[in-house]
Structure 1
Amino acid sequence: MIESFIWMFEEFKKAMPGGKPKMIITDQHAAMTRAISIAFSTIFHRLCIWHVTSKFSVKLPHSTYKEYWCEFQKTIWDTDNKDEFDAKWNIVVTKAGLIDHPWLRSMFDLRESWVPAYARQFFAARMSSIQRAEGNHGFFKQYISRRNSLIDFIIRFERALSHQRQKELVADHIDAFEVAQCILPMPMNKQMATLYTRTLFQKFEEELIQSTTCFLELKTEDASKVVFNVSERKNWETRVAEVVSVKDYDHASCSCKRFEFVGIICKHILALFRRDQIEYMLDKYILKRWKKTAKSGLVSDANGNEIKDYADPGLLIKRSTMSRLASDVVEDALMSEEGYELLSETLKSFQVKLKLLKDGPSNNEVGGSSSQTQYMKDPKRVRCKGRSKRVTGAKKKAMKRGIRHCRECGHIGQ
């Protein structure tokens, strides 16, 4: 089985246009773990935190699990650095009388592979488990099953993929043409509402609102950097993060490592920005993957060749390019009255030409008259199925009316 996983990972690396990934999340599969150490020897291998935490109820005694599970949860999720996690873990294990528990000891030895505090320096878009893969499995199970033949599987899979891409196009359209509403009237908030997608803007605005409850205290300062302690009161507990501001490079970092792990600036750094009255976010704090124009660029393989989406090639790129071009042209035209009139006349001319392209050739081009309107009528109804009615002759029709004819001469009788 290890050889099969190695072959799969090697093929996966060939299919990835940007090279091998920097991190991979799996469950505790022994053969897969061994194959990853061979095929991806330099990447960070994480264990799915859901698979680890779900075993606490099975491995621990029932009464102990029921009493101390909440403390284990807070230790795992609410610690920002390694030392804090180690200290709180030892406290909980000692209180629960589980110092010599073999499974807990093995999980503590593997803590660098599954505890969030040990993985915050690696970007993971906030993922700590394989829930995204499980979600895809649940989605495709609506369309396919193990009873499908190979042809049925391909047809159903393509149908599911088309449905997923259609929903993605709708979401991209909303992000491109609908601006999220800003709650706080700040330039930085409006800037993010313009750049970020709606979902990411909501997450950013949550951090921005929470930054108003943070309090800064100067810790140390020298010629190169300034260090602040940022305190926050949450659930009747005061938590303190350390923010370092480098003067020469105009750079700020936080001990919570949220920007490095999630890709969104944290509330502690935002509190520092509010203190310094910084109105606009620097470009280095805005990742391209969260922008509305994330798909506007070209994707290239290892040889520099463009990779196209065969399901809908170039649609999003063309739409994004035309939108930016139109926006720039409108802004330039509004600078003067002559530019406004010139753009208006040009757009009207383009509109007429585009309508001709859409409608096709007119009646004049095919020899008809453009002044006469021709209407398409419904075709005559024809009975094409079932038994037709028998045709009644003239003789029978006359008999039904009560008219009698002479059998010899055929004349109407009295």
Structure 2
Amino acid sequence: MSNFHAESSEMVQDNANQNSQSNDVMKENHDDNPIVGMIFDSEDELYSYYNKYAYKMGFGVRKSSTRVKDDKKYYALGCHKSGVYEPKTETNKKSKSCKTDCKAKISVIVYCDGRCTISCVTLEHNHAKNLNSLVVEAEGYENLAFDERDCRNYIAKARQLRLGKGDAEALRDYFVRMQKRNSNFFYVIDMDDEGRLKNVFWADARSRAAYESFGDVVSFDSTYLTNKYDMPFAPFVGVNHHGQSMLFGCGLVSREDTETYVWLFKAWLECMGGRSPKAIITDQCRAIQGAVARVFPESRHRLCLWHIMKKVPEKLGKLKQYKAIKKTLKSIVYESIQSQEFEDGWSQLIKDYDLEKNEWLSSLFNDRKCWVPVYVKEIFWAGMSTTQRSEGMNAFFDDFVNSKTSLRQFVEQYDNALKSKIEKENKADFDSLNASYKLMTGFYFERQFRDSYTNAMFKLVQVELHSMLFCNHSLLTTNGTISIYNVTDILRGKRGELKRKVVYTMSYDEIGTDIQCSCHLFEFRGIICRHMMKILIEKDIKEIPVCYILSRWRKDLKHRHYHVINCYEDLKSGRAKQFDQLCSSFYEVAHLADSQEKYDYLLEYIKLAKQKLIDDSSWGVNSNKKIVSEDHNHVPEPSKPLLPPTQVRSKGRPPTKRKESKIEQVTKGKRKRNIWLVRLKLSVGIARDFLCFSNI
């Protein structure tokens, strides 16, 4: 095969020498995809070209071994996931990423005069491509040969939703159909004066019900899918009692300005009954920040820490002392215990490295109370530090959406994605109620948490319990019933090496077993910290007060969204429809009982109705007993056509003329097979678990 490539390349080289001008045109016109016969003046030029192509496509470059024959050098430039993964023999060494034996590559021949040519091209990859995998391979953003914005923009263009002819009307038809199935399905369509689609928001009935239980903290991100009209997909995401992502609605917006986000936030707020989240996490975007301040003035707003820190290489990477600056900055941000400690460290950083004129750092310091951990750790964030929760939801949709997905197809795949989410939540519920982790200690409070919390949350408790072994405490002062302690936390690395020691202050009040820690993990995540556990054991507290067992993480509570029929399935059963309507009516009436008199009145009638249904034997016997009522929730069919949106250029997302690549054609079939296999495995796993638990 190598000889054939060499002979073919020599012929290509002869032809190219006769017409070097056509080769320049070839490189210019095929900037996206390399082709056989392209000639370069040097290896550096070829490598630069292929590296540029690689970052556009979202994969890293790896050079194969070189061999020399007949005064020519042969090697290949391929995907960083080429080759077969071989696990390390030592258990303490873990590979940063797994090889997938990816065949994507170009074969290169270098001639004695330094010129080189591409003799063979394979474009198809056998894995997904994204920026995070590149960062892992490069061991940091600063080692990438391109900046984060370039890659994000290209990946955004590669994941387009194509809004074809009639898609706008199909979207509205879909919303009408969903609302007919469940009257609590909510949607808003924003149109311009000419009847063109501008912005869209929708939320299903189950998401609205779930928000009532888990809507205290919400993450919002608009950096995912775009279509050819530049309409970013913007989901509202929360966390359930298993620590799983939950969708609270999503939108498609035509612009990324403050007014557009105000429209979207108001639509979502109306959908959720006017109840704002207690806390909201967003990207560092001035337009979003302005909209949050206007629509959610009472909500605590936090900027995504991950988004900010990943910009460090881009903003500071060209400075001479970049590595030292980066190390110091990370230490100040992540290790400061008190706000004054952070501010003193920041001032010293600016002074030591002459960064007074750096506008980006100045803006970060001005916004410090919105993103630095030491300023936000006293607020409950349900463990969500960043909008990665939204990005995790975005990645979840990747299994159902590709670059050929139209908007019409997207809403159908959106249904499939949420069905899968429901299945995972149901499985987690079943596992938590029927199996649990073994106890690590004999402390009663550990058993309390195991019996109360879901498996995922109890596992976090056990992590703190294990880390308590590396904590030491000492009594500082005692004032009446209040004792003040110092707890020294000995932090260790993954291999057990000592990293640093941190001293936290503990306050314990004998009255009511009130305990507070300066680490504020309980306030931030809702899990008692290792330092609190240390003092509880010191005080011989066997049973923890219920105030430290959050109902949010309990496994025995039946949340309202459990009773909402999935509107993505056809409700063929009349009984299912009736049950769903009754649950909705009961809930609405319960909210009206906002005083003791109304509560007593409603409860009395419920008792009478319940007794009537139990005692009256005529129910269900006389088939002529029917109640006929009008469907007041009927939504008339739209008559006026909805025009597609105008193409609007949004910042960071320029229009693209990119054609579908071969990999997208290949992965389209593979993705369907993978989804089928995952669902099959999930079904088998649930059945196996059921049989195991039924035998216990």
TM-score calculated relative to the size of structure 2 = 0.42
Q: For residue 27 of structure 1, what is the aligned residue in structure 2? A: 283
2:388 matches 1:125 = no
Q: For residue 47 of structure 1, what is the aligned residue in structure 2? A: 303
- Specify the SS of the correspondent of 1:249: helix
Distance 1:283 1:215 in 2: 26
Q: For residue 292 of structure 2, what is the aligned residue in structure 1? A: 36
- Specify the SS of the correspondent of 2:386: coil
Shift of 1:79: 2.1
In the TM superposition, 1:359-398 aligns within 5 A as: none
Larger C-alpha radius of gyration, 1 or 2? Answer: 1
Q: For residue 692 of structure 2, what is the aligned residue in structure 1? A: none
- Asked if the contact 1:49/1:128 (under 8 Å) is kept, the reply is yes
- Asked if the contact 2:397/2:417 (under 8 Å) is kept, the reply is yes
2:415 matches 1:152 = no
Q: Deviations over 1:320-348 (max 9, x none)?
A: xxxxxxxxxxxxxxxxxxxxxxxxxxxxx
- Asked if the contact 1:56/1:65 (under 8 Å) is kept, the reply is no
- Specify the SS of the correspondent of 1:256: coil
Shift of 1:146: 5.8
Shift of 1:97: 3.4
Q: For residue 346 of structure 2, what is the aligned residue in structure 1? A: 89
Distance 2:432 2:320 in 1: 49
2:450 matches 1:173 = no
In the TM superposition, 1:14-413 aligns within 5 A as: 14-16=270-272, 19-60=275-316, 61-145=318-402, 147-234=404-491, 235-294=498-557, 296-298=558-560, 308-310=564-566
User: Which amino acid in 1 is paired with 2:463?
Assistant: E
User: Which amino acid in 1 is paired with 2:271?
Assistant: A
- Asked if the contact 2:301/2:370 (under 8 Å) is kept, the reply is yes
User: Which amino acid in 2 is paired with 1:289?
Assistant: R
With over 3 angstroms needed to count, the CA separation of the structure-2 counterparts of 1:237 and 1:138, relative to structure 1, is closer
With over 3 angstroms needed to count, the CA separation of the structure-2 counterparts of 1:62 and 1:100, relative to structure 1, is closer
Distance 1:137 1:149 in 2: 17
Distance 2:325 2:258 in 1: 38
User: Which amino acid in 1 is paired with 2:509?
Assistant: V
- Asked if the contact 1:211/1:267 (under 8 Å) is kept, the reply is yes
Shift of 1:277: 1.3
Shift of 1:281: 2.1
Distance 1:109 1:205 in 2: 38
Identity of aligned residues (%): 29
Distance 2:354 2:476 in 1: 38
Distance 1:230 1:44 in 2: 30
Distance 2:273 2:555 in 1: 22
- Asked if the contact 2:513/2:545 (under 8 Å) is kept, the reply is no
User: Which amino acid in 2 is paired with 1:26?
Assistant: T
Distance 2:479 2:337 in 1: 26
Higher RCO, 1 vs 2 (CA within 8 Å, ≥6 residues apart): 2
Residue ranges of structure 1 left out of the alignment (5+ in a row): 300-305, 316-414
Please, which moves more after superposition, 170-179 or 69-78? 69-78
Distance 2:549 2:273 in 1: 23
- Asked if the contact 1:24/1:46 (under 8 Å) is kept, the reply is yes
With over 3 angstroms needed to count, the CA separation of the structure-2 counterparts of 1:117 and 1:9, relative to structure 1, is same
Please, which moves more after superposition, 172-181 or 241-250? 241-250
Is the strand fraction higher in 1 or 2? Answer: 2
Shift of 1:2: 2.4
Shift of 1:167: 1.7
With over 3 angstroms needed to count, the CA separation of the structure-2 counterparts of 1:168 and 1:221, relative to structure 1, is same
- Specify the SS of the correspondent of 1:278: coil
User: RMSD between aligned alpha carbons?
Assistant: 2.5
With over 3 angstroms needed to count, the CA separation of the structure-2 counterparts of 1:254 and 1:63, relative to structure 1, is same
Count of residues in Structure 1 that have an aligned counterpart in Structure 2: 309
With over 3 angstroms needed to count, the CA separation of the structure-2 counterparts of 1:95 and 1:27, relative to structure 1, is same
Distance 1:309 1:246 in 2: 47
With over 3 angstroms needed to count, the CA separation of the structure-2 counterparts of 1:39 and 1:18, relative to structure 1, is closer
Shift of 1:5: 1.3
- Asked if the contact 1:196/1:291 (under 8 Å) is kept, the reply is yes
Q: Deviations over 1:338-395 (max 9, x none)?
A: xxxxxxxxxxxxxxxxxxxxxxxxxxxxxxxxxxxxxxxxxxxxxxxxxxxxxxxxxx
- Specify the SS of the correspondent of 2:321: helix
Residue ranges of structure 2 left out of the alignment (5+ in a row): 1-256, 492-497, 570-575, 581-696
Q: Deviations over 1:43-85 (max 9, x none)?
A: 1111111121111111113442222322221221122321222
